[in-house]
Homo-oligomer: A and B are copies of this chain.
Amino acid sequence: MVQKNIKNCIVRFEPLGRKVKVPRGTTLLEAANKAGIYINSICGGDGNCGKCKVAVNSLEKIQCGQTSLLTRDEIDKKTVLACQSKVLDDVTVIVQDSQFAQASQILISDDSQKINRISCETQEGLFEFDPIVKKIYIEMSPPTVHDHTADKERLFMALREQAGATEIRAGLEILQNLSGLLQSSGYKVAVTTGKSGDALEIISIESGNNCNTGYAAAVDVGTTTVVAYLVDLTDGSTIDTEAAYNSQISFGEDYIRRIIYAEENNAFDRLQSVIVNDINQLISAMASRKNIDIDNISAILCSGNTAMMHFLLKLDARRIRREPYVPSANFIPPIKASETGVRINKNGLLYCIPGVAAYVGGDIVAGVLATKIFTKEGISLFVDIGTNGEVVLGNRDWLVCASSSAGPAFEGSGVKHGMRAADGAIEKFAFGNDGSIEFKTIGRKPPIGICGSGLLDILAELFAHGIIDRTGRFSHGGNELVSHGDEGLQFQIVSPNAGQKEIVITQADINNLIRSKAGVFAAIKVLMASTQVETKNLDAIYLAGGFGNYLDVKKAVTIGMLPDMPFEKIHFVGNTSIAGAKTVLLSRKAQKQAEQIAGSMTYFDLMTHREYMEEFMRAKFLPHTDLALFPSGRDVKK
């Protein structure tokens, strides 16, 4: 059989003006990826999420699959789902700003102050300042006819004395340049070393006493967002922060979908290069802003869930989604950042915080570290609301953990007007005494969406004011702001007017949020039941996640996400993943501690746990089927 030549078509993307040649039959989503344009696509190309809407100049140039996700108005405007539209001929595609997965948009994180506070607190109490990467000034006596110790041995001996390391390692290139450098510097050099197991790895050697500068990056590699700190290694201060959406979003909203996408499209390479590119953009933005040479950044400390670490390093992630759910590695040795494509010093090291299991990764270990629950006598509950909803319970003697796979609703994804905590996000919401809406946006900018804390407020307030019932459904005649929208009933938060877009919360959004909170609460219940811990035994709850700068923990109890306990014992701790990453970066003891936590935590696999689904069903009400569990919830409602 002779294969026919397949025609190539030119797809032009506006307003970027980027063109790409693809074989006839390619989907617009694939064409966009090939053009380096990452269009939002929550379902990973399955045609279910309706996020990848784009407009085309002619419907005749493409073949569209059937979908119920387009409105009449959209159809009139030649809007199609990029993932369901196959190119038949040369075509122009118009991508709305809001469709971009913000691959190149770097968002300033306002979390930084809060997180810095947590991070510093952690270090103060527990870990001395002893970065895992540091620069050491070494002054040697030059060789003479009476002392012709070789240059490498001379340096290593001095380094061993000063750094107290038993084993020192250096790559070939460093050894090749060593003699010239020692001579030209008069045997006075600043050596940047990184901890690698029990050994020290030489990252770079500079002439003279250049120990006053030295940087590293701490990065929270989240499924939805990537947050980076630029850290001054001389004093441990965070000198800049950056955040961006994870551009992998165009391959699927959650990491399971991304694994499926990558398996089906043989795209693990692409998943890696996309996240590496995000990290590189964050780092280079900070470095250029602070006028720092990238060579002076000698390490990157990554904290993320197991799948994200697998994507970043291109480890085999396929069995993360298949029974018995086994990662390739939980403990990843330090590797050369350049091996992954991450651009820092060419010999710079990339460290990962060790994880526990396929669904409890290094980000959670970082959270345990940052909240110090592993040091306390009383029992703490740690809850991280990200794309999943991981839960840790325990104290200094024991720790158990689980993941609820809650979905990223509280990260603003899977919610029509959800967004991450950035300028213009509604972060607080309440009804005034007169029933009017009151809200506050981040940066006091005009509202453009709702971030996690705003969503939590809205869900709690709608419930407390009877606008939604205990199942989450809009009550009949509950409020004049409830109307029929494109996707069924919706509640209008911001009405559209000059220069301000409409912001609503839909029934689907509310269902998503309730599923999320139910998953988290069910996981908490399973862990507590398994360890025979009751709410009254809990000393503290730490709620982490990228909600925003502020979170009303009462509301988290109102909706039944967290056990009902005195609010002063519930602490919102922000992004503990990056806080833990920074802690590990700045303390060798913290690194050892992270390894110990990851190695000793007991993991409950909820997928195979029969109680979990029952608990989940019970938690899918506001606050819960069992109201006795939430005595204070009713107070809020009043």
User: Taking beta carbons and an 8 Å cutoff, which residues of A are in contact with B?
Assistant: 143-145, 147-153, 167, 169-172, 175-180, 183, 197-199, 313-316, 318-319, 323-333, 335-336, 339-340, 357-358, 603, 605, 608
- Bound-state Cα–Cα, A328 to B143, Å: 11
Contact status A179-B315, CB under 8 Å = yes
The answer to whether A335 touches B172 (Cβ under 8 A) is yes
CA distance A325 to B357 in the complex (A): 55
Residues of B within 8 A of A183 (CB): 319
Nearest CB to that of A149 among chain B residues? B326
- Provide the residues of chain B in CB contact with A169, threshold 8 Å: 197, 333
A198 contacts across to B, CB distance below 8 A: 167
B contact residues around A147 at 8 Å (CB): 324
User: Once the chains are docked, how many angstroms separate the CA of A329 from the CA of B150?
Assistant: 5
Contact assessment for B199 and A145 in the assembled complex, using a CB-CB cutoff below 8 Å: no
B contact residues around A151 at 8 Å (CB): 316, 326-329
Contact A328 B179 (CB under 8 A): yes
In the bound complex, residues from chain B placing their C-beta under 8 Å from that of A329 are 150-153, 175, 178
Give A394 Cβ to nearest chain B Cβ, in Å: 20
Q: A143-B324, A179-B316, A199-B199 are in contact. List 16 more A-B contacts (CB 8 A).
A: A143-B326, A144-B324, A148-B325, A148-B326, A148-B358, A150-B326, A151-B316, A151-B326, A151-B328, A152-B328, A152-B332, A172-B339, A175-B329, A175-B332, A176-B313, A176-B314
Task: Give the complex CA separation of A264 and B152 in angstroms.
Answer: 25
* Cα-based distance from A177 to B317 in the complex (angstroms): 11
* Residue in B closest to A334 when the chains form the complex, CB atoms: B169
Give the CA-CA distance A328 to B167 in the complex, in Å: 19
Set of chain B residues within 8 Å of A326, measured between Cβ atoms: 143, 148-151, 179
Q: How far is the CA of A151 from the CA of B319 in the complex (A)?
A: 10
Instruction: Say yes or no: A318 contacts B179, CB within 8 Å.
Output: yes
Contacts of A148 in B (CB 8 A): 324-326, 357-358, 603, 605
CA distance A313 to B171 in the complex (A): 11
Q: Is B153 within 8 A of A316, CB to CB?
A: no
CA–CA, A614 to B145, complex, Å? 20
Report chain B residues within 8 Å CB of A333: 169-170
Question: Quick check: B145 and A608 within 8 Å, CB to CB?
Answer: yes
